[in-house]
Amino acid sequence: MNLWFTEHHSPNVKFSIKVDKHLYSGQSEFQKIDILQTPEFGRVLTLDGLVMCTEKDEFIYHEMITHVAMATHPHIKNVLVIGAGDGGTVRELVKYPTIENIDMVEIDQMVVDVCMEYMPQTASKLTDPRVHLYFEDGLKFVRKKENEYDLIIVDSTDPFGPGEGLFTKEFYGNCYKALTEEGILVNQHESPFYEEDALGMKRAHQKIMGFFPISDVYQVHIPTYPSGHWLFGFASKKFDPIQDLDASAWNGLGLETRYYNPKIHVGSFALPNYVKEQLKDVEPKH
Ligand code: AG3
């Protein structure tokens, strides 16, 4: 049998992964959930037919969505994670003994249940006693919060379907309010490369900038996402991701990472000119 998974990366581009076995397929209240066993990427989680994470490259995404903020702000104790049902972001956060509480708000409990069973590599730390799981809409959850979190990580799907609300002005404004005076917001920021993704990333930047005095974007290389070139947003009330990075303090923690290090941290904020231009397009002109 010759079985392949295919995702459209643009209306004119398809990306295919050879599949050994279709391990799981289910339809939740919110989306279609599939787990594939593949020879190149190991297990792959897809939602509504889009790759969310693979065993082989998820470390890049999850380390970079977590450690950049953690190495910048020295006193992060209370963290809110939105989305992130596969558990990879939480796995990275629990490496820090200084974090006291992690609230994780995932709209779809079935994603967590399926990942607990099929993706233990990412999901196994969801049982850490500091982690509190809430199965509800992140958009509604943050409305009720004020001056509570040192860090909010938005580990969402793309800006359509169940993740759409996590790309709105209302949501970013409520994140601002839910953060402490020194708080940082890191979000899954789409890709600059194909038109549709670039539109999503520009819109997100425009909205986030309206609330935060520091609003930067940094890049990563994720082989299984459209174009492989992906961005995260770093929005902050006080800390600058480069000036305030304490590389020796972070190195002193002795954490094991396969992608992140303080040099990559600094380098990831150096953007190609075409990306800088896209961001400038939506920034207010002075
Ligand atoms: N979040 C989804 C990133 C976007 C992927 N898009 C795509 N394949 N079209 C990943 C969640 C990982 N915790």
Question: pLDDT tens digits, residue range 172-205?
Answer: 999 999 999 999 999 999 999 999 999 999 999 9
Confidence of residue 284 (pLDDT cuts 50, 70, 90): confident
Confidence of residue 285 (pLDDT cuts 50, 70, 90): confident
Look up the pTM and report it. 0.97
Q: Whose CA is nearest to atom 9 of ligand 1?
A: 50
Task: Return the percent helix, strand and coil in the chain, to nearest 5.
Answer: 35, 30, 35
Confidence of residue 207 (pLDDT cuts 50, 70, 90): very high
Using the predicted structure, report yes or no on whether residue 161 has a pLDDT greater than 90.
no
Using the predicted structure, report yes or no on whether residue 1 has a pLDDT greater than 80.
no
- Give me the residue spans of the domains in the chain: 3-54, 58-282
One fold for 3-54 and 58-282? no
Percent share of the chain, pLDDT over 70 = 99
Is 240 marked active-site? no
Percent share of the chain, pLDDT over 90 = 96
Determine the pLDDT at residue 46: 98
Average pLDDT, the chain: 97
Query: Using a 6 Å cutoff on CB, does residue 61 contact ligand 1?
Result: yes
The β-bridge partners of 222 are: none
Region of 113 (left: φ > 0; alpha: ψ -120 to 50; beta: rest) is alpha
Query: Using a 6 Å cutoff on CB, does residue 231 contact ligand 1?
Result: no
CATH number of 3-54: 2.30.140.10
List Cα–Cα distances, 79 to 10, 83, 104, 121, in angstroms: 34, 13, 8, 21
Identify which of 112, 56, 60, 110 has the alpha carbon closest to the alpha carbon of residue 84.
112
3-class state of residue 126 by DSSP? helix
List Cα–Cα distances, 82 to 7, 22, 188, 241, 281, in angstroms: 24, 28, 10, 21, 28
Q: List the catalytic residue out of 108, 150, 155, 197.
A: 155
CATH number of 58-282: 3.40.50.150
For 28-50, b/e burial (b = at least 16 CB within 10 A) is bebbebbbbbbeebebbbbbbeb
Confidence of residue 130 (pLDDT cuts 50, 70, 90): very high
Whether residue 207 contacts residue 178, with contact meaning beta carbons closer than 8 Å, is answered with no
Which of 158, 191, 194, 227 to mutate to test ligand 1, by most ligand atoms within 8 A of the CB atom? 158
> Which stretch of DSSP H or E encloses residue 131?
strand 131-134
Tell me how long the chain is.
Answer: 286
Q: Please give the distance, rounded to the nearest whole angstrom, from the Cα atom of residue 220 to the centre of ligand 1.
A: 13
Query: Using a 6 Å cutoff on CB, does residue 157 contact ligand 1?
Result: yes
